[in-house]
Structure 1
Amino acid sequence: MSSLSIRRWSWIHKWSSLVATSFMLLLCLTGLPLIYHHEIGHLLGNDVEAPALAPAVAPELAAAPPRANVDAVIGAARALYPNKLVMYISQEIDEPAIWNVTLGDTPTDEHYKPIAVDARTARVITEPAFEGGAFMSTMFRLHVDLFAGLYGKLFLGLMGLLLIVAIVSGVVLYAPFMRKLEFGTVRRERSARLKWLDLHNLLGIVTLVWALVVGATGMVNTWADLLLKVWQATEIAAMLEPYRGAAPPTQRASMDAAIKLAESAAPGMRVAFVAFPGTPFASPHHYGIYMRGSEAFSSRLYKPVLIDAQTGQITDQRALPRYLTALLISQPLHFGDYGGAPMKLLWALLDIATIIVLGSGLYLWVQRGRAARRHLQAVAQAREKAAPVLAHEGEGP
């Protein structure tokens, strides 16, 4: 590689890294507790001073009763807030004994009330808070959108793109640099700056694939709102075309019967969540029942089944488009949710290593600036000392 090419790649790596590093450090620091958000939620929930923060846990029963009527489950939640509307009901894949019922003042209420109801007895368990309470909620919002909504997400997506550019340019620069050294060499006997440069390069290569995966999936996740709007404007709009101009239903069919019908139409799949009429994942005329597989991979992929909210009959069902499939796959991969505790630990260790890479990069940039300033000061001082001598020599005999 020519010296000109090295200078160009060095410029790209320098500025893409500098622009993105501060935000990437923030994302790594906030992402670390989010990897263990379930565990932190249980830990804080077990604190006697904060019992309300505990995630919902289904009570143990002496016998395993059959699944309760879903209409009764919804009724139990609505009994707490009779003036609110049902927005969604959902089930976690690892907690089928609980229905999470979401209530709001409108179908798009952002200040909703979550209610956890026992799926076997139709009894209210609790009103769960975000796992970990205010701390985890703050970490989540900082990590997802910087408290700036869609604009914050798109900005973080741009930072993710710059991270990918910084990684690629770093790899290009790493090859000629390491021709002079063995892989993994850290020159501890030299200056602190050289030691941190070697450590920065070594950890950067070790975390290369992980950083690319997390950076790319994080960037895709920031497009979630836009991708959903595209899906609603195309696929969902086509599914709802026969209902254009129709009046909203005056009465609603049984949700329990609708779920059983969706399960029979999608054998081998289970209900992930149900969107009620008027919410963004349904229409004013339909229940949107979203089915998922039971395996680790297929459980992340949804299949929507639209059911007429008045007649209780299926009107359409189809697979998600590829761009939404990519989004749904990227979300758990971003936080290491695929492989249980071992993968979470690996994700946490790589996250910490990346924090060191980013921090050392900032340190090297600051130290390089200081070294440059010291060099300029030394040159200026040398010129000042030489000036009288040169002037004296210029006077002549």
Structure 2
Amino acid sequence: MAAAASLTEPHVLAHTKSHLFPDDDSESYVVADTQFAQDRWIEDRRIAAGVKSRLAPFNHVRVGSGYPDLVGVRKLEAEYLAVERLGEEPPLVVIEAKGRGSGGVDVERGVIQAYDRLGEANVAFVSAPAGAISATDRTLARQLNVGVLGVDEGGSITVLERPRVVGNRTAKEATAIRFQASAQGVVDRNFSLNHPKNYLAVPLSIAHDRDHRELIETHVVGAVDGAIDGAAFLGLIEERGPDYRLTSLGEEVVRFGLREHPDLDAALAAFEQWQRSRKRFLDVAPRWGQLARRVVFAYPATELLVTELQTMHDDGLASPSLVELVEWLHGQHPTFTVELFLRGETDVRERALTDDGRLRTPVLEEGASYHSPTVFQLKAMLFHAGILTERGSEPANLDPRADEWALCEPLSRGR
């Protein structure tokens, strides 16, 4: 029982995350519950900075009737599952960790908690010090389709019980985690350029028979990688090995370009006149601007923002500040709001969120708390597409109390 005597829950969870969600997997995303972002754990013991760093980012995600210790999306290796995963979509994985406490290691309670999450998750595990897991715990977990992971003193993981993947529908709040793990999530693949024309030109270049990188650099923008990444972010192209293919939305951009211009060369040449322009794109190129509006609206976060801004307008708050918007959104979509707006670094979310996931307003008033791809690049594109009244600002130059998020064309209450 030596392992059970020293491994606390944060340590168990950190070791489990390192194995199931390795840092080098770019197609996964995982958050630890906000209770682990706090300074202290049971019996007033401090959570080591290194442990918190390994567990970051933090969020308070409701799955089932509670908040799992770890929620993530990843294609798990066969060693963790009872049967091979079918289909391409990675499963939503929840983990309940148990470690040393004043009352011992309650593995049975962890199994019950993990089982509760299976109503909305695809895979559930309980993770605990290996020496604390009894045969009775394993039998119960096997009956309830809960995986069991044993953690030893050195941090190694032993898979004691392997669960089956179930096909439950993802809970509304957990969809934010799926969003972050997708090609459109705002974690690693994000907007680095703040003008939609840079992304609209990419499908035209991919469809051309000449080198697409050369075409983008010549006619559109020097930051070729940023343009390509943003086009993928908006769902215009998909990476296929060393090459790219057009999505259905990207094909529609090409069709539009050929309808507006004699050929792809002429369409790309038109983009040269918009280089370094700071004017609203919808004003300088109305038809391309309308297309940009359609493309940007297809991005999952846009509809959410527009819907809630319209509701705020209906309730008498026509021009909310960034702080007011985030507080409002968090009341309706807490997990998504944190993922979309707040930086994932430990110090930001540790200060911005209480252990039960509530927001601390003073931290929201600091520009450095915000995710640049949302408050700068996405907002700038919504401005250029004629959706928002103001362009975005870099977090370093941002005053969240004065940064306005208002619709250009709000609808009247009598609509």
Fold agreement, TM-score > 0.5: no
Q: Which has the larger radius of gyration?
A: 1
- Which structure is higher in helix share? 1
